[in-house]
Amino acid sequence: MSRSNPRVLATLERAGGFASAQEVYRLMQREGESIGLTTVYRSLQSLVNEKIVDVLRRDDGEAIYRLCGDTHHHHLVCKGCGDTVEIEGGAIEKWAKNMAQEHGYREIGHTAEIFGLCSKC
Amino acid sequence: MSRSNPRVLATLERAGGFASAQEVYRLMQREGESIGLTTVYRSLQSLVNEKIVDVLRRDDGEAIYRLCGDTHHHHLVCKGCGDTVEIEGGAIEKWAKNMAQEHGYREIGHTAEIFGLCSKC
DNA sequence: ATGGAAATGAAACTCATTTTCATTTCTATG
DNA sequence: CATAGAAATGAAAATGAGTTTCATTTCCAT
């Protein structure tokens, strides 16, 4: 198993805590850091597993990685500019739990994202 | 410009109103329909432009197409056997609308899936 | 008919992401 | 210190979704 390369995390932070793997890679290259694209992907993957980083998808399907706080939350993403708001999902948690119970499911997880156009777009 | 091929729409309907382009294509092939992958993509694209169909993204980034207006529902998926239950999401709809309004977002859509282990697994 | 516009699909292409595998770097233990 | 095994690394090849190109076919309107 690979562990997350700290330089990747540092770069993601420097990028405003929001970038795709390719962007992180290009950024590191441009700043003269010697690293392989494979390692960038692996590190981001590890950061996701360690729940230090969150993955979302751009409209074109490219994965974007984003530093996130530890409270479990959901996202409100603008389809226009990609701006993201972290939101509480109390209602969702309950809904998920209810639905799961109703159908006899255990060890529940869920995903929920809202997307639309922000006031600026 | 191309127009949407009615057989593609029919197949998407038959698929439960919810499938990726590749799935629609494979389904048509399996059922002996003669069609090219390109046409499937073009037709789905047109259906999206005509707002007959909606696009979402799977977790792996693959685009999935969904009939609009179709009373929209969510899925409860078993991580073990892949069994899927379609569920109502009234609570989610309200939550999404509220959150969006609260942050000044318009033209809202959302995704929400629950996953866990079913009673058999 | 017939000429042009729209539709079609095979194949080549793009591009993000994953896999493979040989090499390098650590690290624990003798 | 030596050194063997484990983990990390990255170049290159592979994968797979989606797009583009272009030659061919199908549709119509005249």
CB contact under 8 A, A95 and B92: yes
Closest-CA residue of B relative to A97 is B114
Looking at residue A69, its pLDDT comes to 64
Which protein residues have Cβ within 7 A of any strand C atom? A 20-22, 37-38, 41, 45, 62-63; B 1-3, 5, 34-39, 42-43, 61
Q: The tokens of B11 are what?
A: 């197949």
For the CA atoms of chain A, what is the radius of gyration? 17
pLDDT of residue B82: 62
Residue that wins the pLDDT comparison between A16 and B39: B39
Paired tokens of A113 = 């994202």
- Report how far residue B70's alpha carbon sits from residue B73's, in angstroms, rounded to the nearest whole number: 9
Q: Name the band, by pLDDT with cuts 50, 70 and 90, for residue A22.
A: very high
Locate the chain B residue with the closest alpha carbon to A84.
B103
Query: Residue A24 above 80 pLDDT?
Result: yes
- C-beta separation of A24 from A18 below 8 A: no
Which single residue is written with the structure tokens 């993955």?
A55
Q: How far apart are CA A89 and CA B112, in angstroms?
A: 11
pLDDT (tens digit per residue) in A69-117: 655 678 887 877 667 788 887 888 888 899 999 999 987 878 788 888 8
Confidence band of A2 (pLDDT split at 50, 70, 90): low
Query: Looking at beta carbons, which residues of chain B come within 8 Å of A78?
Result: 105
Q: Which residue has the higher pLDDT, A16 or A10?
A: A10
For A111, A117, B6, B112, the CA distances from B92, given in Å and listed in that order, are 12, 18, 32, 8
Stretch 28-47 of chain A: residues touching chain B, C-beta under 8 Å = none
| Cα A3 to Cα B9: distance, rounded to the nearest angstrom | 46
**Protein CB footprint (7 Å) on chain C nucleotides:** 6-11, 15-20
pLDDT of residue B79: 66
- Scanning chain B, the segments in alpha helix (DSSP H) are 6-14, 21-30, 37-49, 90-102
The answer to whether B56 faces chain A, any CB pair under 8 Å, is no
CA of B1 to C1' of C5 (A): 10
| Average pLDDT in chain A | 87
For residue B100, list chain A residues with Cβ-Cβ distance below 8 A: 76, 114, 116
The protein residue nearest nucleotide D9, judged by CA to C1', is A39
Tokens for A114, please give them. Answer: 């809202």
Paired residues of B115 in beta bridges: A109, B77
Backbone φ and ψ of A26, nearest 5°: -60, -40
Ranges in chain B, pLDDT < 50: none
CA of A49 to C1' of C24 (A): 26
Read off the pLDDT of residues A48-64 as tens digits, 9 standing for 90 and up: 999 899 888 888 999 99
Classified as helix, coil or strand, B112 is strand
pLDDT at A13: 92
pLDDT value of residue B23: 96
